[in-house]
Amino acid sequence: MHPFKKIYMINTAVANKVKKGTKLDKKYATPYPKETYLFWYESMLLMRKFEEKSGQLYGQQKIKGFCHLYNGQEACVAGAVSALKEGDKYITAYRDHAHPLALGTDPKYIMAELFGKATGISKGKGGSMHMFDKEKHFFGGHGIVGGQIPLGIGIAFAEKYKGTDNLCMTFMGDGAVRQGAFHESLNLAMLYKLPIIFVIENNGYAMGTSVERSSNITDLYKLGSAYDMPSKPVQAMDVEQVHEAVKEAAEKARKGMPSLLEFKTYRYKGHSISDPATYRNKEEVESHRQKDSIEAVRTTILVKNIADENELLEIEEKVTQQIAAAVTFAEESDFPKPEEAYQDVYVQKDYPFLTT
């Protein structure tokens, strides 16, 4: 069951009323129902607090290896998930902790994966960059820059081949558009009219080089025009705008027309935890923090009387408890046994080159 099926149904019902010119109920006087706003707030707050805790634990050397935090970009995935439906597929790059959180994966399994524990969502074998949750239709978490883009094409092709009404959301960073696979995938998507939405999460710096220093075209959505693909920029620090853009693109995708969306977003931390981000100054970061998507939704909820302070405090306490429980679960879980290194490698159980 899609964790937000109720929200999807409510949003659809409200949208249909608007199209018919029906006067909305008082509780729908805001652009979206209360359930949607509270989902956005709780989902984004969970992402932010999870990542903040992950950064602390990394500093304590409880989490090792690469670790790429999502702080600042939360509206990108929260707004996308609320606009889609059960059965839709998701795939992304290695900044991937937040995506399964938004889809409803229990934080304890994601935290356990960061700890490299056997109870992790990828059995402790993937770590930060390789999160997967088949039940939530989340197909990773991929460490090769741009490597997930053609995989998204394959997923979308499978949905079309099977005759479903599902689509594939394929996320990537702004640096990935320099890969040839990006252009090959856009071409194939249009050639075969696949149910796919390409999303460039443009946080401005790829791994550490600004878009202005690495691209002749700085409005990256325009790259889709080479393939006659519907493309547009989205102010992705605003979760409402993300939701609307994805909703529109989804309608096209289900009719066989792919889209390219450029999410204009910003990461507050460096590319990874080991990146001091000396290529930008504190004033720049602070200017973007003033547009923080979580604070914006919280303000909207309170100013428009969608919910009161006590309801939001309950959500905040719930998130705090979830994070604490996730850390305890990860710390108390066991590491994988040595023989697990040979599992999940080959489909054929007696593969001749597999030694034990």
∠ Cα 141 250 219 (to 5°): 70
Both tokens of 96, joined, read 């991937």
**CA pair distance 171, 201, nearest whole angstrom:** 7
Q: Which residues pair with 138 in a beta bridge?
A: 90, 133
Per-residue pLDDT of the chain (356 residues; tens, 9 = 90+): 444 555 545 555 544 554 455 444 444 456 799 999 999 999 999 999 999 999 999 999 999 999 999 999 999 999 999 999 999 999 999 999 999 999 999 999 999 999 999 999 999 999 999 999 999 999 999 999 999 999 999 999 999 999 999 999 999 999 999 999 999 999 999 999 999 999 999 999 999 999 999 999 999 999 999 999 999 999 999 999 999 999 999 999 999 999 999 999 999 999 999 999 999 999 999 999 999 999 999 999 999 999 999 999 999 999 999 999 999 999 999 999 998 988 888 888 777 776 55
From residue 135, give the alpha-carbon distance in Å to each of 87, 105, 123, 329: 10, 9, 15, 21
**CA pair distance 62, 273, nearest whole angstrom:** 14
DSSP state of 145: T
The helix-helix angle for 309-332 and 293-303 (nearest 10°) equals 140
CB 86 within 8 A of CB 2: yes
pLDDT of residue 355: 59
**CA pair distance 141, 137, nearest whole angstrom:** 12
pTM passes above 0.75: yes
**CA pair distance 56, 49, nearest whole angstrom:** 11
Please give the domain boundaries of the chain with CATH numbers for all domains: 35-270+290-333 (3.40.50.970)
CB 341 within 8 A of CB 353: no
CB 205 within 8 A of CB 214: no
pLDDT of residue 354: 62
